[in-house]
């Protein structure tokens, strides 16, 4: 990681091409696997699709998405000084597999290691610090999922990959096992114009494999039916009946649509060890989850994305899995 006293190669700040190249090289040195730079401008088409999605009620109980959808589609409303957006992707794949057992629940791969908000945020803040050190007056905003920024749309614009029919970003090199982040800057850089074509073709494996038909049509997902939404975001004492009966062994999140994706056969092992699984984070013992006290829960999931579900949510999910017996094999392990 960059530190302010690192040796810095002089960069001609008036040479946008040289500065952009230097920033990309530094981003790679921070541990990102893909980098693109695009102009900070409104996402008109993407914004319209977001509004159509919200009009269908597909955000479910995530009502914060209804607040200022136009702001999500326009980075200038979030950061008026923005001129350029650096979009990054980090591979998080690790070579481990779920087990199918009625005594345990499966955890979505993205939550196996340390919280990606922390890991990606740290890398982006380090990159911003480096840019500020070579360019006086540079200002920026770090975005990792929780800011009102359309991460996947920017990744597509920046040429990092294409939006799959399951609505996840797919990259040719790492499949969909990537985290996305952005750095909004108040300086104009050289922009990447080449995008990656949609390579999903006629494949519908992700749509066919979803046990709850949450992918209502290619590139459209109804959160109300999604196992990931239900087991992570839904705040209720019990899961909907149509969800509870089709959990397929998932305690937290769901990777079914990604596990069956042919592009995820090209995965590569991440060299970021903070994405390696924590103990009990590939499969979690259901009895152990149900015995957790708040203090144990806080200690165990400190710095983990799994804290998003809260103790009540994890225990609700564990009870649902125990009530419905052994999981189906659909979506377990790797394709």
3-state SS string over the chain? Answer: CCCCCCCCCCCCCCCHHHHHHHHHHHHHHCCCCEEEEEECCCCHHHHHHHHHHHHCCCCCCCHHHHCCHHHHCCHHHHCCCCCEEEEEEEECCCCCCCCCCCCEEEECHHHCCCCHHHHHHHHHHHHHHHHHHHCCCCCEEEECCCCCCCHHHHHHHCCCCEECCCCCEEECCCECCEEEEEEEECCCCCCCCCCCCCCCCCCCHHHHHCCCCCEEECCEECHHHCHHHHHHHCCCCCCCHHHHCCCCCEEECCCHHHHCCHHHHHCCCCCCHHHCCCCCCCEEEHHHHHHCCHHHHHHHCCCCHHHHHHHHHHHHHHHHHHHCCCCCCCCCCCC
**Dihedral sign computed on CA atoms, order 177, 183, 189, 195:** positive
* 223 alpha carbon, distance to own chain's centre: 15
CB contact at 8 A, 62 and 35? no
Categorize the per-residue pLDDT at 331 as very low, low, confident or very high, splitting at 50, 70 and 90: very low
CB contact at 8 A, 160 and 36? yes
Does residue 104 come out as left (phi exceeding 0), alpha (psi in the -120 to 50 range) or beta?
beta
CB contact at 8 A, 35 and 135? no
CB contact at 8 A, 194 and 159? yes
Per-residue pLDDT, 35: 98
Per-residue pLDDT, 132: 94
Of 73, 83, 2, nearest to 37 by C-alpha is 83
Quick: pLDDT tens for 131-190. Answer: 999 888 899 999 999 999 999 999 999 999 999 999 999 999 999 999 999 999 999 999
Quick: pLDDT tens for 8-56. Answer: 456 677 789 999 999 999 999 999 999 999 999 999 999 999 999 999 9
- Supply φ then ψ for residue 139, to 5 degrees: -125, 150
**Dihedral sign computed on CA atoms, order 222, 224, 227, 229:** positive
Query: How many Å is the Cα radius of gyration of the chain?
Result: 20
Distance CA 210, CA 227 (A): 9
Active site residue 145: yes
Categorize the per-residue pLDDT at 325 as very low, low, confident or very high, splitting at 50, 70 and 90: low
pLDDT above 50 (res 6): no
Does residue 235 come out as left (phi exceeding 0), alpha (psi in the -120 to 50 range) or beta?
beta
Quick: pLDDT tens for 206-218. Answer: 999 999 999 999 9
Question: Domain residue spans in the chain?
Answer: 16-185, 205-266+276-323
Sheet with 104-107, edge to edge strand ranges:
250-252, 104-107, 283-285
Task: Tell me the pLDDT of the chain averaged across its residues.
Answer: 93
From first CA to last CA, the distance across the chain in angstroms is 34
CB atoms within 10 A of CB 213: 12
Catalytic residue among 12, 100, 115, 145, which?
A: 145
Q: Is the pTM of this model over 0.75?
A: yes
Distance CA 83, CA 60 (A): 33
């Amino acid at each position: 990681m960059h530190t302010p006293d690192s040796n810095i190669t002089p960069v001609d700040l008036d040479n946008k091409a040289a500065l952009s190249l230097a920033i990309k090289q530094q981003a790679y040195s921070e541990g990102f696997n893909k980098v693109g730079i695009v102009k900070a401008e409104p996402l008109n088409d993407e914004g319209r699709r977001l509004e159509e999605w919200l009009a269908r009620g597909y955000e479910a109980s995530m009502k914060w998405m209804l607040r200022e959808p136009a702001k999500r589609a326009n980075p200038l409303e979030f950061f008026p000084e923005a001129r350029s957006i650096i979009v990054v992707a980090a591979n998080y794949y690790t070579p481990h597999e779920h087990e199918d057992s009625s005594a345990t629940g499966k955890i979505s791969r993205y939550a196996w290691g340390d919280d990606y908000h922390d890991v990606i945020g740290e890398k982006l803040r380090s990159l911003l610090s480096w840019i500020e050190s070579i360019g006086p007056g540079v200002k920026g905003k770090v975005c990792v999922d929780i800011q009102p920024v359309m991460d996947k749309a920017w990744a597509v614009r920046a040429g990092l990959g294409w939006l799959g029919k399951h609505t996840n970003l797919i990259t040719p090199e790492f499949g969909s096992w990537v985290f996305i982040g952005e750095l909004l800057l108040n300086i104009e850089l050289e922009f990447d114009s080449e995008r990656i074509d949609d390579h999903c073709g006629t494949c519908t494996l992700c749509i066919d494999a979803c046990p709850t038909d949450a992918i209502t049509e290619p590139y459209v997902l109804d959160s109300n039916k999604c196992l990931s939404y239900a087991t992570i975001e839904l705040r209720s004492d019990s899961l909907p009946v149509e969800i509870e009966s089709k959990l397929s062994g998932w305690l937290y999140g769901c990777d079914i649509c990604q596990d069956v994706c042919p592009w995820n056969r090209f995965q590569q092992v991440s060299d970021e060890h903070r994405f390696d699984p924590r103990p009990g984070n590939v499969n979690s013992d259901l009895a152990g989850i149900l015995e957790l006290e708040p203090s144990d829960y806080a200690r165990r999931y400190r710095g983990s994305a799994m804290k998003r579900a809260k103790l009540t949510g994890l225990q609700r999910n564990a009870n649902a899995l125990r009530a419905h017996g052994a999981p189906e094999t659909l979506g377990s392990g790797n394709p």
